[in-house]
Amino acid sequence: MKKSYIILLGIIFIPVLLVVLNDNGVNSSIEDNLEFQPKLSQYRLFQGKMADLTPIEEAELLTISSTLFTDYAEKQRFVVLPKGKKMVARGNALLDFPDGTILAKTFFYPKNLGEGRKLILETRLLIKNKSQWNAATYKWNDSQDEAYLLTAGTTVPVTFWDEKGNSRKTAYKIPSRVDCIACHRQGNRVFPIGPKLRNLNIEVKREAKSVNQLAYLRQRGRLEITSFLGIGRMPDYRTPLEPLERRARAYLDINCAHCHSPGGIGGITQLDLRYETPMNETGILLKQGKIAGRISISGELHMPKIGTTVPHDEGIRLILDYIRQLDDKK
């Protein structure tokens, strides 16, 4: 009963302001300072057949512990650094990337239902030029041998299997550049979201061995880091062995904090959902009903606002369990 009451309150008292939220007091237009190529292949990021998604030898795969949910699509992330340049560790925060860096994230379903093969949907690029990040999205064609620059968002009808093996359908949304900027902006600048030091501090498989990712990147000459002491580790919210609060906070961080943090477009909501923010400064206790309501409903008022058309059943359950735990502690 308490759970339903909290969700109802969250839906009824959603501020109209959030629906028309535009720019948190900053200029809504952030112009690129470079021109993107019309075809993804022109960047020569993959070797062999593009559909095999085999990065060039100069690229380094990046695996993060807690990942953004995007309609159950899987993602391949890698970075290409300018020759002789390194990423630099700055505390537990976002890595410092040199000018000329390309961050590539490709979204795909391992098997498109009925076809038995990988279905690649989009590749998003962040390119750093003259200290500014520039964002673009490329839509893969039906023959899966090329991807083309999008100037506006689009949808792709998809039938896929979710994590439980259930068949699901959706009109998968590929975001526009404006959508990308909305999530990646902090004030009047654009930044990557996922590659924070604590989110990369995990064990990964590289060259058939299990290694710490940060140590591996340093050994490969890709990362400058003075010490591993004091580096935090973001929990994987999908791991049930982690405490509920840590898993929920990790989920809110990667899925919501890019907007709901100082400088984000949702900063005026008095929610700061970054993992490192002390609980008494997050606003979660004050706004738990609204969080439960927004994450549970469908349509225009659903949160996260961009990037999801299919309910994330496991994520919704995680957050509602967390909200219920907070309520029970009162």
pLDDT tens across 157-201, in order? 998 877 777 888 899 999 888 888 878 887 788 889 889 999 999
Same domain? 142 vs 225: yes
Same domain? 170 vs 283: no
Same domain? 153 vs 302: no
Same domain? 224 vs 315: no
Same domain? 71 vs 210: yes
pTM for the model? 0.87
What's the CA gap between 179 and 182, in Å, rounded? Answer: 5
Domain with 191, as residue range(s), is 31-233
Same domain? 1 vs 101: no
Same domain? 255 vs 292: yes
Q: Are 317 and 7 in contact (CB under 8 A)?
A: no
Same domain? 214 vs 250: no
Written as one string, the DSSP assignment of 36-101 is PPSBGGGG--B-S-GGGT-B-TTEEE---SS---STT-EEEEEEEPPTT--EE--TTSBPBPPTT-
291: tokens are 């969080």
Same domain? 200 vs 274: no
Q: Is the pLDDT of residue 25 over 50?
A: no
- For 8-39, give one letter per residue: b (16+ CB within 10 A) or e: eebbeebeeebeebeebebeeebebeeebeee
Final residue belonging to a domain, choices 211, 233, 255: 233
Final residue belonging to a domain, choices 233, 261, 295: 233
Final residue belonging to a domain, choices 188, 210, 233: 233
What's the pLDDT tens digit per position in 38-95?
Answer: 999 999 999 999 999 999 999 999 999 999 999 999 999 999 999 999 999 988 888 9
If one counts the domains in the chain, the total is 2
Q: Is the pLDDT of residue 288 over 80?
A: yes
- Of 129, 81, 77, 131, give the one whose Cα is nearest residue 104: 77
Same domain? 160 vs 94: yes
Same domain? 289 vs 156: no
Report the pLDDT averaged over residues 319-329: 86
Same domain? 164 vs 207: yes
